[in-house]
Amino acid sequence: MTKKSSGIGRRRAAAKADLAPNYEKRREEIYEAAACVFNRKGFSGTTVSAVAKELSIDRASLYYYISSKEQLFDELIREVSDANVAMAQTIAASKALPSAKLRKLIVELMESYARNYPILYIYIREDLGDIKDTRSEWANYMRRVNRKYEKAVINIIQEGYETGCFQDVGNAKVVAYGIIGMVGWTNRWFKPEKTDIPASDIGRIYADMVIGGLA
C-alpha cells in the first residue's frame, strides 16, 4: 500500500468514526447520485468527478466514502441482485401452484426494476465478458448470482411441466430465458417517473401472456 492510499484509508476511517450518525445516509446519497450518472453515461463514461459534480461536492470529499467508481458500481449491483435472487428462491420453494409462483416472480421482478431504478437496467447493459482482471472476482460472483436466479425460474417451469400445470412447450431453460429477457427488455422504454403504466401492471400483463401461453 502506498503512502497516498494509506492516507486516504485513514481519512476514510476517521470520517466514518466522526460522522457515524450521518455516514450511511451520505453513502446512500452517493449511491443514488452514482446510479443517475451511470445511467446517463454508462460504466465506461462515468468518473468519480462526475459523481461528485452530481452531488455538488468536490472529488476529494467523495473519497472519504468510496474508493473508486468500480466499488460504487459493484456494490450497487450486488446488493439489488442478491435481494432478487433471495426473492426468486423463496417463491420457487413455496407451496403455491407453479402458475401462481410464476405470476408472482414476474410481477416481483418488474417491481424490482422500478423500485431500484435504474440500477438493474444499468447492469443489463454492461458486458460481464469485458471486465478488467481487477474486477474478475466481482464478475464471477455476479455470474453465479445470475445462474441462481435462472435456476429458480427454470425450476418453476419444470415443476409446471411435471405437475401438468403447464403444457410442455419445450426446454424449460429456453422458456426461463425468454421470460427473464422479456422483462429485462423494459430497460428500453420503462421509466418510473414517465411511463404511465405502473410496474406492477406491466408485470401482471406479462404474467398473463406467459401463463396463458403455457396453460
Task: Given CATH 1.10.357.10, say whether it is the number of domain 70-214.
Answer: yes
Mean pLDDT calculated for residue range 108-124: 91
What is the arithmetic mean of pLDDT over 175-192? 96
The span from the CA of 84 to the CA of 90, in Å, is 10
Section 40-46 average pLDDT:
84
- C-beta separation of 51 from 62 below 8 A: yes
Q: What is the mean pLDDT of residues 3-11?
A: 48
> Any idea which fold 3-67 has?
Arc Repressor Mutant, subunit A (1.10.10)
Read off the pLDDT band of 8 (50, 70, 90). very low
| Alpha-carbon gap, residue 16 to 169, rounded angstroms | 55
| CATH 1.10.10 domain locations along the chain | 3-67
Which of 94, 79, 96, 75 has the alpha carbon at shortest distance from 30?
Answer: 75
> CATH 1.10.357.10 spans which residues of the chain?
70-214
Write out pLDDT tens, residues 51-90: 999 999 988 888 888 888 888 888 888 989 999 999 999 9
Average predicted confidence (pLDDT) for the chain: 87
